[in-house]
Amino acid sequence: MKNLDIEKLERKNIYTTPNNFFENVQENVLQKTTFLLDKEEVTTKTTKIIQLNWWYAAAAAVVIMFGTLFFYNNKESDVPNIAQNKKQNTEPATTKTVAQIEPTENPNANLISDENYNSPKSNLNSLEKDETKEIKKQQISIAKIEQPKKVSTQKSNTDEQVEMILASFSNEEIATISKNTEQDVYLDLYN
Q: Interface with other proteins by CB under 8 A: which residues?
A: 1-2, 4-7, 9, 11-18, 21-22, 25-26, 28-30, 32-34, 36-37
DSSP, collapsed to helix, strand or coil, labels residue 23 as: helix
Query: What DSSP character marks residue 123?
Result: H
Q: Which residues contact 116 (CB under 8 A, 6 or more apart)?
A: 123, 126, 127
Find the shortest distance in angstroms from Cβ 61 to other proteins.
Answer: 38
Measured between alpha carbons, how far is 30 from 37 in angstroms, rounded to an integer?
A: 10
Q: Which is nearer to other proteins, 1 or 151 (CB)?
A: 1
Q: Which is nearer to other proteins, 24 or 90 (CB)?
A: 24
Find the shortest distance in angstroms from Cβ 38 to other proteins.
Answer: 12
105: left (phi over 0), alpha (psi -120 to 50) or beta: beta
Find the shortest distance in angstroms from Cβ 63 to other proteins.
Answer: 40
DSSP string, 52-117: --HHHHHHHHHHHHHHHHHHHHHHHHHHHHHHHHHHHHHSPP----TTTSPPP--TTHHHHHHHTT
Chain centre to alpha carbon of residue 140: 39
Find the shortest distance in angstroms from Cβ 7 to other proteins.
Answer: 8
Residue 88 in contact with residue 153, Cβ under 8 Å?
yes
112: amino acid identity, one letter: I
Find the shortest distance in angstroms from Cβ 50 to other proteins.
Answer: 22
Measured between alpha carbons, how far is 95 from 45 in angstroms, rounded to an integer?
A: 80
Find the shortest distance in angstroms from Cβ 26 to other proteins.
Answer: 5
Q: Which is nearer to other proteins, 13 or 110 (CB)?
A: 13
Q: Which is nearer to other proteins, 11 or 121 (CB)?
A: 11
Q: Which is nearer to other proteins, 14 or 82 (CB)?
A: 14
Q: Which is nearer to other proteins, 40 or 184 (CB)?
A: 40
